[in-house]
Structure 1
Amino acid sequence: MITLVPLSGFLGSGKTTTLISAAVAMQRTGRRVAVVTNDAGPAGLVDTDLARAGLDHVAEVTGGCYCHHPDELAAHVARLADSGGIDTVLVEAAGNCFDLRPALVPLRRRLGDRVVIAPQTVVVDPLRLAAFAGAADLSGREYELAYVFGRQLAAADLLAVNKTDLIGAEQTAKLTARLAADHPQATVLPYSAVSGAGIDELVRAWGRDVATPEPDYELDHARYVDAEARLAWANLAFGVDAVDDTFDASVWGRAVLRHLSEWSAATGYFVGHAKVAVRTRAGLAKLSVTESGAAPRADRSAARPVERGSATVNVRIACPPSVLDDAVLAAIAAADAVGRARSDVPPPASFRSTQPLPPPSLARTAGADAVLR
């Protein structure tokens, strides 16, 4: 028997940190956990690097959301079920995914009663929620992307309010009460993936099978597609060498993100997220930015300077892809200068997500015709 936990949420909400924290908590109680990550772009995900640094069983589905690769997701989970060594699979969706139910239909059909599907969990960043609420009466990039965020909330069985360590108990109580009133279809549960507070309660909430019920919400298809088209996505993987004897991977990664954060603040471009991971002999350095102008945050730091590392850079910013290409190259060049490093960067090829919704045939199979109205 496999318990599958569908985990979605907007860019930068902390999905990967959540699944790692939850997986570690499960493993302490004897559960055997695997993770599947997802992205609209090609292989080379910072989230996958981070998951593999902390967990033994990690796979990824790339080149589009799960709704466009349901058979690949089903095959991953079936292999894990057949192995007999895994009892729980955490499935992390890309940040543009608003409903995982259609992608789970082939999985349910293939595994039958061998799989228990936990409540669809949407990770909520309270700071992003506040920012999008402020954009509700405006126009432009943030207004349209706020629509994607709102559709994610409407699709949830469980709203997992992350980052409570940043807002305090009083604000957490107010926020959870507001979300519960606005989204009566969902259970609302606060926690912090960083501190671990509330993680055990989150894991317990995944202990029931919700099957794949028909979604109960409306979607403006044209507006959703337009919102998705505003984001440019960049995925790069390359080697980084020291110019002198060694370079510090954490210093280098922080410089990349600082440049992108300051550039986006100066140009007014909305940041979904920007992430950097550098794998070295001294460990993994992983840093992120989820707001223009914000300082980079380090999730992991390499233990010491090294001669060489392998870098992965993932950036999601609302700007033309060619503009993002130039900005990423400039950020890497700035980091090389600060960190005394030399990067072997391939030509960037930023893109826009062009398949934000499942094919109509799959949605109908899921009993979700309302999604396409």
Structure 2
Amino acid sequence: MTHRIRYIMVGGFLGAGKTTTLGRLAAHYREEGFNVGIVTNDQATDLVDTNTLRSQGFDVGEVAGACFCCNFNELIDTMGNLSVEERPDVILAEPVGSCTDLVATVIQPIKQLFDAEFEIAPYPVILKPSHGVRILKNEQGRGFSPKAEYILKKQLEEADVILINRIDELSPEEVDEITSLCKEQFEETPLIRMSAKTGEGFDELVEFLTQQGEFGHKILDIDYDIYADGEAELGWLNSSLTLRSDEEFELDQALLGVVQHLQSQLLNAELEPAHLKVIGLWEGFFGVANLISSQTQAELSLPSKCNVKQAEVIVNARVACDPELLEDFVNESVSAVAKEFNLTAEFRQTQRFRPGRPVPTHRFATPGRE
């Protein structure tokens, strides 16, 4: 019998916790004796997620320059190049957080064109409470326009299971509130309450993903004009730079400082971050700091616990603002931290833009059958 790779794609809006979830899933499957490959995705190169997962020892391929749906052939090629010497049993895929309609443009094309090579697992979509509650409740001052919010709602609509993440950060009442909202608006979709950080609810997710059957079949009725306008509202920035000092400095505090400075600038300008991530790497050490919304605190999500004289740093910022303004904020934040820690900062590359209109390679309006 032909060996088929189990394809598990985990969706969700920017900052939902996809990378942490994939890292935990990859570690689980590896411990179970499976060969695991991971594919990350971004509109540009220099992706913090790719570097984070590689630093944890995983085999990671990156599809850069466009989302999975618009760069489908590269997705297939990238999966084919993973672990060439040892074919993966499981491939975990992390799509761009501002993308939706992935059942019709990614899952169904894989199912119908490459059925002999891949079997499709249930499609989980992670809900980030900090934005999700405000959007599902239709609160005033939610941070994003209705067009950007449209993307998050469509992501949840096509899910086989909704993962309510970060429950370790919520009170029982807040968990009940977001659970109730999801049940009201997506009443036929199963829910799993979990924390990708602590592992709570993770066993339930793993069990759900073992299921076989008619999954990845929710073809959306979607307006691509609204979808495109919603994506285009986000300023997108990836910067790579080197921090140096004659004396050792605390890498974690420098990374957290960059995110905190950015948060302060965005709050003053009344701009909503979809996600900010900063990773610092040096000689086997790495640390990650991030911010997922204006209503949460910047955090050191993966501490390096090391002092260094030099670090390679990557900044990923997704904010509802003009990309040129976002670049100014990032440069000012890096400069402020460099001054505070007596560092020199040398930028190597910066990419900033607004995402273009999605033009999928394939779109299957009718689901294939098992």
TM-score (norm 2): 0.91
Aligned to 1:184: 187
Cα contact 2:121–2:215 (8 A) shared by 1: no
2:288 equivalent to 1:286: yes
Query: Would you say the 8 A contact 1:2–1:81 is kept in 2?
Result: no
Q: Is the 8 A contact 1:234 1:314 kept in 2?
A: yes
Indicate conservation of the 8 Å contact 2:251/2:307, yes or no: yes
* Aligned counterparts, 1:234-253, within 5 A: 234-242=237-245, 244-253=246-255
- The answer as to whether partners of 1:135 and 1:146 remain within 8 angstroms in 2 is no
Contact 1:192 1:199 in 2 (8 A): yes
- The 2-side partners of 1:166 and 1:211 are apart by 33
Deviation at 1:75? 1.7
- Write the letter of the residue equivalent to 1:193: A
Question: In structure 2, do the counterparts of structure 1 residues 223 and 109 end up closer, same or farther at CA, with 3 Å as the change threshold?
Answer: closer
Which residue of structure 1 aligns with residue 230 of structure 2? 227
On the 8 A contact 2:8/2:92 being kept in 1, the answer is yes
Change (3 A) 1:114 1:28: same
Contact 1:212 1:366 in 2 (8 A): no
Q: 1:316 aligns with which of 312, 315, 318?
A: 318
Which of 86, 89, 92 is equivalent to 1:90? 92
8 Å CA contact 1:273, 1:289 repeated in 2: yes
1:29 partner amino acid: E
- Residue matched to 1:130: 133
User: Is 2:16 the partner of 1:13?
Assistant: yes
Higher mean C-alpha deviation, range 83-92 or range 313-322: 83-92
Deviation string, structure 1 residues 233-269 (Cα, Å, up to 9, x no partner): 0001121111x32222111111111111011111111
Indicate whether 1:172 and 2:171 are aligned.
Answer: no
Over the aligned positions, Cα root-mean-square deviation in angstroms equals: 2.3
SS in 2 for 1:299: strand
Aligned pairs (5 A) from 1:149-228: 149-210=152-213, 214-228=217-231
Structure 1 unmatched ranges of 5 or more: 369-373
Instruction: Give the deviation of 1:353 after TM superposition.
Output: 0.2
Within the candidate set 302, 305, 312, 1:303 is matched to 305
CA offsets per residue over residues 85-121 of structure 1, 9 Å max, x none? 4211110011111132212344335542331111111
Structure 1, 185-194 or 208-217: larger mean CA deviation: 208-217
1:32 aligns with 2:31: no
Query: In structure 2, do the counterparts of structure 1 residues 195 and 139 end up closer, same or farther at CA, with 3 Å as the change threshold?
Result: closer
Counterpart in 1 of 2:55? Answer: 53
TM-score scaled by length of structure 1: 0.90
Q: In the alignment, what sits opposite 1:371? A: none
Q: For 1:133-148, list aligned pairs within 5 A.
A: 133-135=136-138, 141-148=144-151
Amino acid at match of 1:31: F
User: What is the rounded CA distance, in whole Å, between the counterparts of 1:73 and 1:122 in structure 2?
Assistant: 19
Q: Is the 8 A contact 2:160 2:216 kept in 1?
A: no
In structure 2, C-alpha distance between the alignment counterparts of 1:249 and 1:21, rounded to whole Å? 24
Larger proportion of helix:
1
Shift of 1:180: 2.8
1:90–1:294 Cα change, 3 Å: same
User: Is residue 276–residue 312 contact of structure 1 (8 Å, CA) maintained in 2?
Assistant: yes
Structure 2 counterpart of 1:295, which letter?
Q
Residue among 121, 125, 139 paired with 1:118: 121
Superposition deviation, residue 195 in structure 1: 0.6
Note closer, same or farther for the CA distance 1:282–1:302 as it changes in structure 2 (3 Å cut).
farther
Q: Give % identity.
A: 26
Count of aligned positions: 363
Take 1:269 and 1:175, find their aligned partners in 2: how far apart are those partners? 24
